[in-house]
Amino acid sequence: MSRVYNFSAGPAVLPEEVLAEAAAEMMDYRGTGMSVMEMSHRSKAYQAIIDEAEADLRDLMNIPNNYKVLFLQGGASQQFAMIPMNLMKNGVADYIITGQWAKKAWQEAQMYGKANAVASSADKTFSYIPDCSDLPISEDADYVYICENNTIYGTKFWQLPNTKGKLLISDVSSCFLSEPVDVSKYGMIYGGVQKNIGPAGVVIAIIREDLVSEDVRPGTPTMLRYKTHVDNGSMYNTPPAYGIYICGKVFKWLKKRGGLEAMKAYNEKKAAILYDFLDSSKLFKGTVEKKDRSLMNVPFVTGDKDLDAKFVKEAEAAGLVNLKGHRSVGGMRASIYNAMPIEGVEKLVAFMKKFEEENL
Ligand SMILES: *Cc1c(COP(=O)(O)O)cnc(C)c1O
């Protein structure tokens, strides 16, 4: 067996302990004589899996009792529609545009109501987070929407926007469980799990219970109503059962590692190794304003397209894979999620140093 250091933005690296455990349980899950993949979602064994997953997530994130936890499908992208269909009661919402994912959510919302862009960092290719301390929030806005960690550009909201009393809805796909959060500050937090938690196919939504109601946009399909999933414990239909099982294992792995405080400290330590090198390098440079840097996604460039391509190719040959930047921005990007061990970042920086010496 030969494992690489996988810097993919998503689907992304998972903890080896989790993969090994899943492998050991593949043929016979705890005496059931079958894989979790083959199991009825209505079985006792599966109910225990999803219940435990939810309980562990609640524990990890300290989720207040008046919030519901949903395991959904359709990717984070489906939420771009579900959010306005369910939550745009006045038909107005304010969006902060800090990258492609926020932009897509904003564009989708325009199909259902008046979606205002109240701030944007498009002027500098999304390399910073705009000042959100005093935005022109709409009087009748149903919510303010952010993408908290911008996977493609490598920026992060280190301070939540001042929503002037309006609900805050946040896409945390690429920073989910990377640090502690105060759930009570949000109306809803959601994210696709394939960045920092588990296999593609599961979206977790944490939503304040008073926002879940029958009062949705007329014509909203049953499957796209939060209430449908709340009323049925995320099992109105067959859930992404195997994916949820793996997420549950990752939650246990995170608890064993000391929870989200410990993960934050570890993630800060990992990111500092890479950022410190970028700040001292004569060849490589980070592309993001320092104060807004993400701990999860680290984009960087040499300034020369051919050299960037050479770097990506040679890194791959050295077992450091998926370092190519997003197709829309070029350069490089190292995604260093929870499951990326510190040794992976150390190896990457050592490789970058060597590459610098050889190519400067
Ligand atoms: C990847 C990503 C998405 C899109 O996720 P899908 O599950 O592919 O729909 C949305 N938002 C953010 C922040 C992402 O990183």
Q: Which domains does the chain have, with CATH numbers?
A: 17-256 (3.40.640.10), 259-359 (3.90.1150.10)
Q: How many CB atoms lie within 10 A of CB 175?
A: 27
Q: For ligand 1, which residues put their CB under 6 angstroms from it? A: 10, 75-77, 101, 147, 151, 171, 173-174, 192, 195
Sheet strands (E) in 180-236: 188-192, 203-208
77, 145, 175, 178, best to mutate for ligand 1 pocket (most atoms within 8 Å of CB)? 77
Tell me, in angstroms, the distance from the centre of ligand 1 to residue 176's CA.
Answer: 12
Closest C-alpha to ligand 1, atom 11? 101
- Contact of 53 with 36, CB cutoff 8 Å: no
Parts of the chain with a pLDDT under 50: none
Instruction: Compute the distance from residue 173 Cα to the ligand 1 centre, in Å.
Output: 6
Query: How far apart (Å, rounded) are the C-alpha atoms in residues 185 and 93?
Result: 17
pLDDT at 336: 98
* Candidate list 56, 68, 101, 106, residue with the active-site label: 101
Q: Is residue 253 annotated as part of the catalytic site, yes or no?
A: no
Percentage of the chain beyond pLDDT 90 is 98
Q: What is the pLDDT of residues 86-116, one digit of tens each?
A: 999 999 999 999 999 999 999 999 999 999 9
Per-residue confidence (pLDDT) for residue 323, from 0 to 100:
98
Q: Which amino acid is at 243?
A: G
CA-closest candidate to residue 238, choices 57, 46, 78, 19 = 46
Nearest CA-CA partner of 302 in 312, 290, 294: 312
Calculate how far, in angstroms, residue 77's C-alpha sits from the geometric centre of ligand 1.
Answer: 6
At 178, list the tokens: 């990377």
What sign for the dihedral angle of Cα 209, 213, 219, 225? positive
* Token digits of residue 20: 């090994």
Cα–Cα distance list, 83 to 77, 171, 313 (Å): 10, 11, 40
Q: Which of 173, 193, 294 to mutate to test the pocket of ligand 1 (most atoms within 8 A of CB)?
A: 173
**Residue 353 bears catalytic tag:** no
* Nearest alpha carbon to residue 237 among 255, 251, 222, 219: 222
Q: Coil, strand or helix: which one is 247?
A: helix
Q: Nearest to residue 141, comparing CAs of 159, 125, 124, 161? A: 161
| pLDDT for position 360 | 87
pLDDT at 327: 82
Q: Which residues contact 314 (CB under 8 A, 6 or more apart)?
A: 351, 355
CA distance 358 to 282: 12
Rounded CA-CA distance 259/25 in Å is 24
Tell me if residue 94 is catalytic.
no
Token pair listed for 1: 């067996």
- Three-point CA angle 277, 348, 256, nearest 5°: 100
d(CA 16, CA 30): 20
